[in-house]
Each structure stands twice: as structure tokens, then as C-alpha cells.
Amino acid sequence: MIRTSNIKRRCILRALGIIFCSPIASVLTLSQVSANSYLKPLNKPRIAWRTQLSLEAYQVLFEHHTEEPNSSELNHEYREGTFICAACYLPLFQSQHKYESGSGWPSFTQPITHHVGTQPDHQFGFARTEYHCIRCHGHQGHVFNDGPLPTKQRWCNNGLALNFVLKADPLPLLRS
């Protein structure tokens, strides 16, 4: 005798297979995947990231380098869309939260909830808060408490650590 829960489980798995294996699934939306699997940290070797990124992007994301101020085209990007991690493509910021901080780097008032992690950074002898992509742990930038209302936060990001996707375009599939 087959248990009802096994039948339900197989139906759910079959439906997920259709969703994730069909050509239509080439567009990822935040509502398609549960938060647990969507935000699961990647345990990908650094050498694998190095083969997928430019040297400069790799150095910023995985060696904590900082690009020169005013060097990123994204500093002047104000169209409607989503800023995604340049390594794993996780959406990190919505364009409505971007503002001109005068710092020379793309700045935002807030990230997408639960898509970044933070940690203390004492690299230059004083305390700062570094933030990174929660999936690939790629370094994005630093958060400061000198931003505009309502958050008073400035999420100061390296442009090389981001890609921009217009609202009208589909988000790329997450890299694994």
C-alpha cells in the first residue's frame, strides 16, 4: 500500500522538476524558490570563481580589494532595475534604494532583506562594517551610518562586485 504522503511528495517533486527543468525556468524570480534553498551559501572553491570573473572583479569580490573611486559605470546608473552580485547573480539591491552619495562608489540606502551578511572590518586600524553576498560570500563594500533618511545608512558598493539588470529584462539564473 502506498502512503498518501509519498504520493504528494512525488507530485511535488515532479512539479518542481517541470518548473526547474523547463526552458521557461531560465528566468528566476524571488518567489519561485524557497528562501532556504535560494540563499544557501555556496561552497565553491576560489579557483572556480577566478575562471568565471575578470581579474579585477575577482580581486574585489574574493580578495577584498577596492576599485578606484568614480571608476564604475554603475555609479551613474539610475534606471529602474536590480543590482545583482557579479559572482553568483543573487539580487542585492533595488534601484529605488540607490542614491548619489558623493563618495565615488554606487551607494544604496538598504539591501534586499537577508541577501547580504555583515562582519567587522579592522583592516585600516579602525572599526568598519564590511558586507558581502550571503550566497557566495563575495565582498561588496562597507556600510556606514552617514546616509540619508529614513535608514541613515550608506551601503557603499564596489561597482565591479555588481551587475545591473533592467526591470524589463529577466534576472539571470543564479550561478552555482
* Residue pLDDT tens, the chain, 176 long: 334 444 344 433 333 333 333 232 223 334 333 445 568 899 899 999 999 999 999 999 999 999 999 999 999 999 999 999 999 999 999 999 999 999 999 999 999 999 999 999 888 788 999 999 999 999 999 999 999 999 999 999 999 999 999 999 999 999 98
CB 62 within 8 A of CB 49: yes
Whole-model pTM: value is: 0.78
Count of residues in the chain: 176
Neighbours of 162 (CB within 10 A): 27
| Catalytic residue status for 156 | yes
Domains annotated for the chain, with CATH where assigned, are 40-166 (2.170.150.20)
Give the 3-state secondary structure of residue 50.
helix
